[in-house]
Structures are given as structure tokens and as C-alpha cells.
Chain A
């Protein structure tokens, strides 16, 4: 099956610094990628949808200047948490859709646990 690689799996940073999380589709072209945030014992909260080569579409309540998303190629999307604060600590998961095969399901990365001190 299609593989999505997400890096880093864990990151600890100081308050006020920025953190970049990468999401790569390894064996398919990800025309659309989604970024989710998951709080403990809760479901996935969709943060934004990104299409290759265009600006991300953010969900209501998600600060686009805080969570910068770039989808510069068909295999890479990045999420940058700018000026991170402890309340940004969470589990972030990316997923991708294979635009060519269009089989319907999403392929997920392994997630990145961000801890802001």
C-alpha cells in the first residue's frame, strides 16, 4: 500500500521557537494532503487541507499564521508551528490522497508528538 512518512515523530522545543513537521508520500503523488491535530483521548481535528502548488485551506478557528502549511511538491507538505507555546503541544498527523489512483482512502503518516516547554 501507499506509504506516508512523517518526521519527526517526536519533538520537544522551548516556548517561542518554531517547529517544522514534514509529511512525504513515498510511492505516490499526493495531490491533496490533510493536517490533523489530535488531543488526548479525542478524535482527529482537521486543521487544513493543502493542494499541491496552492495555498492551504484552513478550518474555522485554526490560525493560518500560527500553523503555516506548505505543499510545494506532489510528495511533500510541511507544517510549521510558529512561536510555539505549551498549548500547542499535541499529536499532529498528516494524511494524503493519491490523486492518480484515486482509490478513495487516505494514507496517514505516523504522527508527530510536539511538546512545548
Chain B
């Protein structure tokens, strides 16, 4: 069965410092991986995805993620954090069984401190 793990409930980082939000996955076959961000009382916004191609994926708002097959990881990164990046971040993997179901991680709350 497909699964996604986000080991950190919360990540704190100082403004201007690089940030990393961790995600590991377990799938059979090639993974379709996604990152979404959620601001309070809002829906989820798509940040980036990995389906195939370069392992380093660039997305919205300066975020990027690196697909690492050997470590089964897809960590979200940004070189310089902004206070406005503070939000809830979800990693997701798409079920490849044909149902198009997406399995979400438990979410990581990012807090960027001024």
C-alpha cells in the first residue's frame, strides 16, 4: 500500500535561513509525489510535483523539492525562508492503482520567525 510520512509536526526556522520540510514515501512502482501548502481556514494550494525527469523539482514561491529514490524521500526546501511561508505543508503521493486517490501525509506546520 502507498503511504507518506512527514516525521515532523512542526518546523521552526529563522527568517532568511534555509528551510527543509521532510517527507518519505512508500509506493510500489514509480511514485507521483506532490507538495501542497495550506493557510489557515483555506484550501490547499499546489506547490510542486515530481512525476518523472529531473530529481530536483522547482515550484511556486521559490520552493523546490528533491526526489531521492534510494532514500525514498521527497523533502521540500527553500533557500531563504520568509515569515509569509508560515503555514501547514502536506506531502502527498498518488495511488497508482487507477483510482487517482491521493494519500496525504499528516502535515508539517512551518513557523518562520522574524
Contacts and interface: CB of A to CB of B under 8 A. Distances in A.
Interface of A: 1, 4, 6, 32, 34, 42-44, 46, 49, 57, 91, 93, 95, 97, 104-111, 113
A105 B42 contact: no
Question: Considering the complex of A and B, which 8 residue pairs feature the smallest CB-CB distances, nearest first?
Answer: A108-B43, A108-B44, A110-B43, A43-B106, A111-B43, A105-B46, A44-B104, A109-B43
Interface of B: 32, 34, 36, 41-46, 49, 51, 90, 94, 99-102, 104-107
Contacts of A4: 43
25 contacts: A1-B46, A34-B101, A34-B102, A42-B106, A43-B107, A44-B44, A44-B90, A44-B104, A49-B100, A93-B43, A93-B44, A95-B44, A97-B100, A104-B32, A104-B34, A105-B46, A106-B44, A106-B102, A108-B44, A108-B45, A108-B46, A109-B43, A111-B41, A111-B43, A113-B41
Contacts of B107: 42-43
Nearest to B33: A104
A49 B101 contact: yes
A49 B99 contact: yes
SS class of chain A's interface: helix, strand, loop or mixed? strand
Contacts of B46: 1, 105-108
Given A32-B100, A42-B107, A110-B43, 10 more contacts: A4-B43, A42-B106, A44-B44, A95-B43, A104-B32, A104-B94, A106-B102, A107-B46, A108-B46, A111-B41
A108 B37 CA distance: 11
A104 B106 contact: no
Contact of A46 (B41, B45, B101): B101
A105 B45 contact: no
Contacts of A46: 101-102
Contacts of B45: 108
Contacts of B41: 91, 111, 113
